[in-house]
Homo-oligomer: A and B are copies of this chain.
Amino acid sequence: MAVACNLKEILTEFIREVWSEGNAEAADKYIAPEYKIHHDPGDAWEGQQLDLAAYKERVRTLRTPFPDQSFVIKGLFADGNAVVLTWLWSATHKGDIPGFPATGAEVTMSGATAYFFENDRISGHWQITDRLSVYQQLQSQKASHSPQSS
């Protein structure tokens, strides 16, 4: 149990420091030399194996349109070398993403991610995010700001 608790603590710190606070360089402390994205529909790196530099680039790229993004952890479930995280995400849409120029809208999303560890380093994930929810929120922003409806 001590090991499982420790992995939960490591993951909690990783999410806060790297993904919520946006300190991509801090990935050095958490990520294994080879990181595999096993499953992550919609993620540009799905199926790839990333080295540390590529992982940091992924953090920076994904945070650029949502620079104030933050995660609230809803649940942590540890089993062997894995920890599953259920989470809520919120952010301001400040940069362009495909199909959606920056709207300035507050958006929310939820997801679940299984993280895999090698010793105390995170070596990959299997993730589902509720992408449709973000799509619908941004579509509704588009509709409410279109010339036809103003």
A residues sitting closer than 8 Å to B (CB atoms) are: 4, 39, 41-42, 74-79, 82, 84, 86, 110-114, 126-133, 135
Closest 9 CB pairs of A and B: A112-B112, A77-B79, A132-B132, A131-B132, A84-B84, A128-B128, A112-B128, A41-B130, A77-B84
A32 to B86, CA, bound (A): 23
Closest B residue by C-beta to A75: B114
- Chain B min CB distance to A4 (Å): 7
Q: Is B126 within 8 A of A128, CB to CB? A: no
Collect the chain B residues with CB atoms within 8 Å of residue A133's CB: 41
Closest B residue by C-beta to A39: B110
Q: Is B82 within 8 A of A75, CB to CB? A: yes
A57 to B4, CA, bound (A): 38
- Chain B min CB distance to A81 (Å): 10
Collect the chain B residues with CB atoms within 8 Å of residue A135's CB: 132
Collect the chain B residues with CB atoms within 8 Å of residue A82's CB: 75, 77
Collect the chain B residues with CB atoms within 8 Å of residue A129's CB: 128, 130
Question: Which of B76, B78, B79, B86 makes the CB contact (< 8 A) with A126?
Answer: B86
